[in-house]
Structure 1
Amino acid sequence: MSAEERRESVIRAAMTEFARGGYKGTSTEAIAKRVGVSQPYLFRLFPGKEAIFLEAARRCCERTTQVFKEASEGLEGEAAHHAMGAAYQALIADDPDLLLMQMQMYVAVASAEASGDREFGESVRAGWMEMYDTARLALGADVGDATHFLAYGMLINVLVSMGFQPDHRVWTGFYESVQPRQ
Protein backbone atom coordinates (compact mmCIF):
# COMPACT_ATOMS: atom_id res chain seq x y z
CA MET A 1 0.00 0.00 0.00
CA SER A 2 1.36 3.43 -0.92
CA ALA A 3 1.78 6.19 1.67
CA GLU A 4 -1.17 8.04 0.12
CA GLU A 5 -3.38 4.95 0.33
CA ARG A 6 -2.26 4.39 3.92
CA ARG A 7 -2.98 8.05 4.69
CA GLU A 8 -6.49 7.58 3.30
CA SER A 9 -6.94 4.51 5.51
CA VAL A 10 -5.87 6.56 8.52
CA ILE A 11 -8.42 9.26 7.74
CA ARG A 12 -11.24 6.71 7.41
CA ALA A 13 -10.18 4.95 10.61
CA ALA A 14 -9.86 8.28 12.42
CA MET A 15 -13.37 9.27 11.40
CA THR A 16 -14.68 6.06 12.93
CA GLU A 17 -12.62 6.31 16.10
CA PHE A 18 -13.26 10.02 16.68
CA ALA A 19 -16.96 9.56 15.90
CA ARG A 20 -17.22 7.00 18.67
CA GLY A 21 -14.78 8.40 21.22
CA GLY A 22 -14.50 12.11 20.53
CA TYR A 23 -11.30 14.09 20.21
CA LYS A 24 -10.18 13.80 23.81
CA GLY A 25 -11.35 10.22 24.25
CA THR A 26 -9.65 8.79 21.17
CA SER A 27 -6.02 7.75 21.24
CA THR A 28 -3.72 7.72 18.26
CA GLU A 29 -2.93 4.16 19.35
CA ALA A 30 -6.57 3.18 18.65
CA ILE A 31 -6.41 4.78 15.20
CA ALA A 32 -3.10 3.08 14.38
CA LYS A 33 -4.46 -0.26 15.56
CA ARG A 34 -7.61 0.09 13.42
CA VAL A 35 -5.44 0.77 10.36
CA GLY A 36 -2.88 -1.90 11.24
CA VAL A 37 0.12 0.39 11.49
CA SER A 38 2.42 1.47 14.28
CA GLN A 39 2.05 4.82 16.01
CA PRO A 40 5.45 5.97 14.70
CA TYR A 41 4.25 5.26 11.15
CA LEU A 42 1.04 7.18 11.87
CA PHE A 43 3.17 10.17 12.85
CA ARG A 44 5.10 9.96 9.61
CA LEU A 45 1.79 10.53 7.83
CA PHE A 46 0.44 13.21 10.18
CA PRO A 47 2.29 15.52 12.59
CA GLY A 48 -0.02 14.69 15.49
CA LYS A 49 -3.48 13.85 16.78
CA GLU A 50 -4.83 17.34 16.11
CA ALA A 51 -3.83 17.13 12.44
CA ILE A 52 -5.52 13.74 12.13
CA PHE A 53 -8.71 15.05 13.75
CA LEU A 54 -8.79 18.18 11.62
CA GLU A 55 -8.33 16.14 8.44
CA ALA A 56 -11.12 13.77 9.52
CA ALA A 57 -13.33 16.79 10.24
CA ARG A 58 -12.49 18.34 6.87
CA ARG A 59 -13.36 15.07 5.15
CA CYS A 60 -16.66 14.85 7.03
CA CYS A 61 -17.66 18.37 5.93
CA GLU A 62 -16.42 17.73 2.41
CA ARG A 63 -18.49 14.57 2.07
CA THR A 64 -21.66 16.27 3.30
CA THR A 65 -21.06 19.25 1.01
CA GLN A 66 -20.60 16.91 -1.95
CA VAL A 67 -23.89 15.18 -1.15
CA PHE A 68 -25.64 18.57 -1.10
CA LYS A 69 -24.06 19.56 -4.43
CA GLU A 70 -24.98 16.31 -6.15
CA ALA A 71 -28.52 16.25 -4.78
CA SER A 72 -29.28 19.84 -5.76
CA GLU A 73 -27.65 19.77 -9.19
CA GLY A 74 -30.05 21.30 -11.71
CA LEU A 75 -32.63 22.10 -9.02
CA GLU A 76 -33.65 25.30 -7.32
CA GLY A 77 -35.54 26.45 -4.25
CA GLU A 78 -37.88 23.99 -2.63
CA ALA A 79 -36.97 21.16 -5.03
CA ALA A 80 -33.30 21.60 -4.06
CA HIS A 81 -34.30 21.80 -0.38
CA HIS A 82 -36.14 18.48 -0.47
CA ALA A 83 -33.50 16.76 -2.59
CA MET A 84 -30.68 17.84 -0.26
CA GLY A 85 -32.70 16.87 2.82
CA ALA A 86 -33.46 13.41 1.46
CA ALA A 87 -29.84 12.93 0.37
CA TYR A 88 -28.57 13.96 3.82
CA GLN A 89 -30.96 11.58 5.57
CA ALA A 90 -29.78 8.77 3.29
CA LEU A 91 -26.14 9.69 3.95
CA ILE A 92 -26.41 9.49 7.72
CA ALA A 93 -28.52 6.35 7.52
CA ASP A 94 -25.82 4.71 5.38
CA ASP A 95 -22.91 6.07 7.43
CA PRO A 96 -23.91 6.76 11.05
CA ASP A 97 -20.26 7.43 11.93
CA LEU A 98 -20.37 10.46 9.65
CA LEU A 99 -23.15 11.95 11.75
CA LEU A 100 -21.36 11.13 15.00
CA MET A 101 -18.12 12.61 13.63
CA GLN A 102 -20.02 15.76 12.82
CA MET A 103 -21.36 15.96 16.36
CA GLN A 104 -17.88 15.31 17.79
CA MET A 105 -16.52 18.17 15.66
CA TYR A 106 -18.86 20.59 17.39
CA VAL A 107 -17.91 19.30 20.83
CA ALA A 108 -14.18 19.44 20.07
CA VAL A 109 -14.35 23.00 18.77
CA ALA A 110 -16.45 24.15 21.74
CA SER A 111 -14.03 22.49 24.15
CA ALA A 112 -11.01 24.08 22.47
CA GLU A 113 -12.70 27.49 22.47
CA ALA A 114 -13.56 27.14 26.16
CA SER A 115 -9.89 26.65 26.92
CA GLY A 116 -8.86 29.64 24.79
CA ASP A 117 -7.82 27.84 21.60
CA ARG A 118 -9.72 29.58 18.82
CA GLU A 119 -7.32 28.43 16.11
CA PHE A 120 -8.34 24.76 16.46
CA GLY A 121 -11.84 25.53 15.22
CA GLU A 122 -10.85 27.68 12.25
CA SER A 123 -10.58 24.82 9.75
CA VAL A 124 -13.71 23.13 11.12
CA ARG A 125 -15.63 26.39 10.76
CA ALA A 126 -14.29 26.77 7.21
CA GLY A 127 -15.58 23.30 6.29
CA TRP A 128 -18.95 24.05 7.86
CA MET A 129 -19.18 27.34 5.97
CA GLU A 130 -18.60 25.45 2.74
CA MET A 131 -21.64 23.30 3.58
CA TYR A 132 -23.63 26.43 4.44
CA ASP A 133 -22.66 28.22 1.23
CA THR A 134 -23.48 25.14 -0.86
CA ALA A 135 -26.94 24.87 0.69
CA ARG A 136 -27.51 28.61 0.43
CA LEU A 137 -26.63 28.72 -3.27
CA ALA A 138 -28.82 25.71 -4.02
CA LEU A 139 -31.69 27.47 -2.25
CA GLY A 140 -31.37 30.58 -4.40
CA ALA A 141 -28.87 32.37 -2.12
CA ASP A 142 -31.63 33.03 0.40
CA VAL A 143 -30.18 33.31 3.90
CA GLY A 144 -33.49 32.48 5.56
CA ASP A 145 -34.00 29.33 3.52
CA ALA A 146 -30.42 28.20 4.18
CA THR A 147 -30.86 28.85 7.90
CA HIS A 148 -34.12 26.91 7.94
CA PHE A 149 -32.61 24.01 6.01
CA LEU A 150 -29.56 23.74 8.27
CA ALA A 151 -31.66 24.19 11.43
CA TYR A 152 -33.70 21.16 10.48
CA GLY A 153 -30.48 19.34 9.63
CA MET A 154 -29.24 19.99 13.16
CA LEU A 155 -32.56 18.74 14.54
CA ILE A 156 -32.06 15.55 12.54
CA ASN A 157 -28.51 15.28 13.92
CA VAL A 158 -29.67 15.66 17.49
CA LEU A 159 -32.60 13.25 17.23
CA VAL A 160 -30.61 10.57 15.42
CA SER A 161 -27.53 10.88 17.65
CA MET A 162 -29.75 10.62 20.73
CA GLY A 163 -31.25 7.41 19.34
CA PHE A 164 -34.83 8.52 18.78
CA GLN A 165 -36.39 5.94 16.48
CA PRO A 166 -38.26 7.22 13.39
CA ASP A 167 -41.64 6.27 14.88
CA HIS A 168 -41.06 8.19 18.14
CA ARG A 169 -43.49 11.06 18.74
CA VAL A 170 -40.63 13.60 18.81
CA TRP A 171 -40.35 13.24 15.01
CA THR A 172 -44.03 14.08 14.38
CA GLY A 173 -43.56 17.85 14.24
CA PHE A 174 -40.52 17.40 12.06
CA TYR A 175 -42.34 15.27 9.52
CA GLU A 176 -45.28 17.68 9.42
CA SER A 177 -43.06 20.72 8.91
CA VAL A 178 -40.98 19.31 6.06
CA GLN A 179 -43.81 18.07 3.87
CA PRO A 180 -43.72 19.73 0.45
CA ARG A 181 -46.08 22.69 0.25
CA GLN A 182 -49.14 22.16 -1.92
Structure 2
Amino acid sequence: MLDAAVACFARKGYYGTTTGEIAERAEISQPYVYRLFASKEALFAGAILHVSELISDALTGAEAGADEAGPHRQPEAVMRAIRSAYSTLIEDRDVMRFLMQASCAADEPLVAEALRTCYARQVELVSELLNHDDAAVRHWFGAGMLENVTLTLGLADVDEPWARTLSGQRSRSDGGSFAHRESP
Protein backbone atom coordinates (compact mmCIF):
# COMPACT_ATOMS: atom_id res chain seq x y z
CA MET A 1 0.00 0.00 0.00
CA LEU A 2 2.85 2.41 0.77
CA ASP A 3 4.46 1.64 -2.60
CA ALA A 4 1.15 2.58 -4.25
CA ALA A 5 1.06 5.80 -2.23
CA VAL A 6 4.63 6.67 -3.22
CA ALA A 7 3.81 6.08 -6.90
CA CYS A 8 0.65 8.20 -6.81
CA PHE A 9 2.11 11.03 -4.75
CA ALA A 10 5.20 11.05 -6.99
CA ARG A 11 3.08 11.88 -10.02
CA LYS A 12 0.62 14.43 -8.63
CA GLY A 13 2.06 15.50 -5.30
CA TYR A 14 0.39 15.64 -1.93
CA TYR A 15 -2.20 18.21 -2.93
CA GLY A 16 -3.13 16.69 -6.28
CA THR A 17 -3.47 13.05 -5.24
CA THR A 18 -6.63 11.57 -3.76
CA THR A 19 -6.82 8.65 -1.37
CA GLY A 20 -9.20 7.10 -3.90
CA GLU A 21 -6.41 7.02 -6.50
CA ILE A 22 -4.07 5.41 -4.00
CA ALA A 23 -6.69 2.83 -3.00
CA GLU A 24 -7.29 1.98 -6.66
CA ARG A 25 -3.58 1.55 -7.33
CA ALA A 26 -3.15 -0.57 -4.18
CA GLU A 27 -6.24 -2.59 -5.13
CA ILE A 28 -7.95 -1.92 -1.81
CA SER A 29 -11.02 0.08 -0.84
CA GLN A 30 -10.75 3.73 0.07
CA PRO A 31 -12.32 3.10 3.51
CA TYR A 32 -9.55 0.57 4.16
CA VAL A 33 -6.97 3.31 3.49
CA TYR A 34 -8.55 5.24 6.36
CA ARG A 35 -8.46 2.18 8.59
CA LEU A 36 -4.70 2.07 8.06
CA PHE A 37 -4.07 5.83 8.21
CA ALA A 38 -6.15 8.46 10.00
CA SER A 39 -5.76 10.99 7.18
CA LYS A 40 -4.16 11.61 3.82
CA GLU A 41 -1.50 13.61 5.66
CA ALA A 42 -0.74 10.62 7.90
CA LEU A 43 -0.52 8.39 4.81
CA PHE A 44 1.90 10.80 3.14
CA ALA A 45 4.00 10.91 6.31
CA GLY A 46 3.99 7.10 6.38
CA ALA A 47 5.16 7.06 2.76
CA ILE A 48 8.04 9.39 3.67
CA LEU A 49 9.14 7.05 6.44
CA HIS A 50 8.82 4.10 4.03
CA VAL A 51 11.12 5.80 1.50
CA SER A 52 13.49 6.69 4.33
CA GLU A 53 13.77 2.98 5.12
CA LEU A 54 14.44 2.19 1.44
CA ILE A 55 17.26 4.73 1.43
CA SER A 56 18.73 3.44 4.69
CA ASP A 57 18.62 -0.15 3.47
CA ALA A 58 20.31 0.78 0.17
CA LEU A 59 23.09 2.75 1.88
CA THR A 60 23.68 0.15 4.56
CA GLY A 61 23.90 -2.58 1.91
CA ALA A 62 26.36 -0.53 -0.12
CA GLU A 63 28.48 0.18 2.93
CA ALA A 64 28.56 -3.54 3.74
CA GLY A 65 29.94 -4.14 0.25
CA ALA A 66 32.61 -1.50 0.81
CA ASP A 67 33.41 -3.24 4.12
CA GLU A 68 34.66 -6.23 2.14
CA ALA A 69 37.80 -4.17 1.60
CA GLY A 70 38.55 -4.81 5.26
CA PRO A 71 39.56 -2.45 8.01
CA HIS A 72 41.77 -0.44 5.65
CA ARG A 73 38.92 0.70 3.42
CA GLN A 74 39.19 4.24 2.18
CA PRO A 75 36.49 6.85 2.94
CA GLU A 76 36.40 7.58 -0.79
CA ALA A 77 35.42 3.96 -1.46
CA VAL A 78 32.55 4.21 1.00
CA MET A 79 31.45 7.53 -0.54
CA ARG A 80 31.49 5.97 -4.02
CA ALA A 81 29.57 2.91 -2.80
CA ILE A 82 26.80 4.88 -1.11
CA ARG A 83 26.57 7.40 -4.01
CA SER A 84 26.17 4.47 -6.39
CA ALA A 85 23.53 2.88 -4.18
CA TYR A 86 21.58 6.14 -3.97
CA SER A 87 21.87 6.65 -7.74
CA THR A 88 20.51 3.16 -8.32
CA LEU A 89 17.63 3.76 -5.89
CA ILE A 90 16.51 6.98 -7.54
CA GLU A 91 16.57 5.40 -10.97
CA ASP A 92 13.10 4.41 -9.79
CA ARG A 93 11.53 7.68 -10.89
CA ASP A 94 8.68 7.24 -8.42
CA VAL A 95 11.11 7.30 -5.50
CA MET A 96 13.02 10.26 -6.89
CA ARG A 97 9.90 12.29 -7.73
CA PHE A 98 8.31 11.42 -4.41
CA LEU A 99 11.36 12.84 -2.62
CA MET A 100 10.94 16.07 -4.57
CA GLN A 101 7.19 16.19 -3.89
CA ALA A 102 7.70 15.55 -0.17
CA SER A 103 9.68 18.76 0.23
CA CYS A 104 6.89 20.68 -1.52
CA ALA A 105 4.36 19.49 1.07
CA ALA A 106 6.42 20.44 4.12
CA ASP A 107 3.85 23.06 5.17
CA GLU A 108 1.69 20.20 6.45
CA PRO A 109 2.64 19.50 10.11
CA LEU A 110 2.79 15.68 9.93
CA VAL A 111 4.67 15.85 6.65
CA ALA A 112 7.22 18.29 8.08
CA GLU A 113 7.67 16.06 11.12
CA ALA A 114 8.17 12.97 8.94
CA LEU A 115 10.67 14.84 6.74
CA ARG A 116 12.66 15.95 9.79
CA THR A 117 12.66 12.36 11.06
CA CYS A 118 13.77 11.10 7.63
CA TYR A 119 16.58 13.64 7.36
CA ALA A 120 17.70 12.99 10.94
CA ARG A 121 17.94 9.26 10.23
CA GLN A 122 19.76 9.76 6.96
CA VAL A 123 22.21 12.32 8.38
CA GLU A 124 23.00 10.01 11.31
CA LEU A 125 23.51 7.03 8.99
CA VAL A 126 25.60 8.88 6.41
CA SER A 127 27.62 10.52 9.19
CA GLU A 128 28.37 7.11 10.64
CA LEU A 129 29.27 5.69 7.23
CA LEU A 130 31.58 8.64 6.52
CA ASN A 131 33.34 8.54 9.90
CA HIS A 132 31.47 11.60 11.25
CA ASP A 133 33.08 13.94 8.72
CA ASP A 134 30.54 16.80 8.66
CA ALA A 135 31.92 18.31 5.45
CA ALA A 136 31.66 14.94 3.67
CA VAL A 137 28.09 14.52 4.94
CA ARG A 138 27.09 17.95 3.62
CA HIS A 139 28.77 17.15 0.30
CA TRP A 140 26.92 13.82 0.07
CA PHE A 141 23.53 15.44 0.69
CA GLY A 142 24.23 18.35 -1.64
CA ALA A 143 25.34 16.01 -4.42
CA GLY A 144 22.27 13.83 -3.87
CA MET A 145 19.91 16.78 -4.11
CA LEU A 146 21.65 17.96 -7.26
CA GLU A 147 21.33 14.46 -8.71
CA ASN A 148 17.59 14.52 -7.97
CA VAL A 149 17.26 17.77 -9.91
CA THR A 150 19.38 16.61 -12.86
CA LEU A 151 17.29 13.44 -13.17
CA THR A 152 14.00 15.32 -12.81
CA LEU A 153 15.02 17.73 -15.57
CA GLY A 154 16.40 14.96 -17.80
CA LEU A 155 19.74 16.74 -18.11
CA ALA A 156 21.45 13.58 -19.35
CA ASP A 157 19.67 14.25 -22.64
CA VAL A 158 20.58 17.95 -22.82
CA ASP A 159 23.88 18.55 -24.61
CA GLU A 160 24.37 22.13 -23.46
CA PRO A 161 27.25 23.49 -21.38
CA TRP A 162 25.05 24.43 -18.40
CA ALA A 163 23.42 20.97 -18.35
CA ARG A 164 26.79 19.22 -18.61
CA THR A 165 28.07 21.33 -15.72
CA LEU A 166 25.17 20.32 -13.46
CA SER A 167 25.05 16.68 -14.50
CA GLY A 168 28.81 16.10 -14.64
CA GLN A 169 28.73 14.61 -18.11
CA ARG A 170 31.01 15.30 -21.04
CA SER A 171 29.85 16.74 -24.32
CA ARG A 172 28.48 14.17 -26.77
CA SER A 173 30.99 15.47 -29.29
CA ASP A 174 33.68 14.36 -26.81
CA GLY A 175 32.12 10.91 -26.48
CA GLY A 176 30.16 11.77 -23.35
CA SER A 177 26.95 10.11 -22.29
CA PHE A 178 24.82 9.65 -19.20
CA ALA A 179 26.63 6.39 -18.54
CA HIS A 180 29.91 8.31 -18.34
CA ARG A 181 28.57 10.87 -15.90
CA GLU A 182 31.10 11.84 -13.27
CA SER A 183 30.01 11.01 -9.74
CA PRO A 184 29.38 14.17 -7.70
- Cα distance in 2 for partners of 1:162, 1:46 equals 33
Q: Secondary structure at the match of 2:155?
A: coil
Structure 2 residue ranges without an equivalent (≥5)? 68-72, 170-180
Structure 2 residue matching 1:151: 3-state secondary structure: helix
How far apart are residue 37 of structure 1 and its match?
2.0
Query: What 5-or-longer segments of structure 1 have no aligned partner?
Result: 1-9
Deviations 1:144-177 (A, max 9, x none): 0000111011000011112222564423465379
2:90 alignment partner, SS class: helix
Map of 1:41 onto structure 2: 32
Q: How far apart are 1:70 and its partner, in Å?
A: 1.1
TM normalised by structure 1 equals 0.81
Matches within 5 A, 1:1-182: 10-73=1-64, 74=67, 75-93=73-91, 95-109=92-106, 111-112=107-108, 117=109, 119-165=110-156, 168-169=159-160, 170-172=163-165, 174-175=167-168
Give the aligned residue type for 2:59. F
Structure 1 equivalent of residue 176 of structure 2: none
Write the deviation string for residues 119-139 of structure 1: whole angstroms up to 9, x where unpaired. 541122111221111111111
Question: For 2:154 and 2:183, how far apart are their aligned partners in 1?
Answer: 23
Identity of aligned residues (%): 32
Q: TM-score, normalised by structure 2?
A: 0.80
On the 8 A contact 2:55/2:86 being kept in 1, the answer is yes
| Compared CA separation, residues 142 and 166, structure 1 to 2 (3 A) | farther
Note the alpha carbon deviations across 1:44-65, whole angstroms, 9 max, x for none. 1221111111111111111112
Give distance in 2, aligned partners of 1:107 and 1:178.
Answer: 28
Aligned length: 164
CA RMSD of aligned residues (A): 2.1
Task: Kindly provide the amino acid, as one letter, of the partner of residue 83 in structure 2.
Answer: G
Name the counterpart of 1:7: none
Counterpart CA distance in 1 for 2:183 and 2:159 is 18
TM superposition shift of 1:88: 1.1
Letter paired with 1:156:
E
Deviations, residues 50-103 of structure 1 (Å, cap 9, x unaligned): 11111111111111121111111225511111111111111111x110001111
Cα distance change of structure 1 residues 155 and 38 upon mapping to structure 2, 3 Å threshold: same
Contact 2:150 2:167 in 1 (8 A): no
Q: What amino acid is the match of 1:155?
A: L
Structure with the bigger percentage of helix: 1
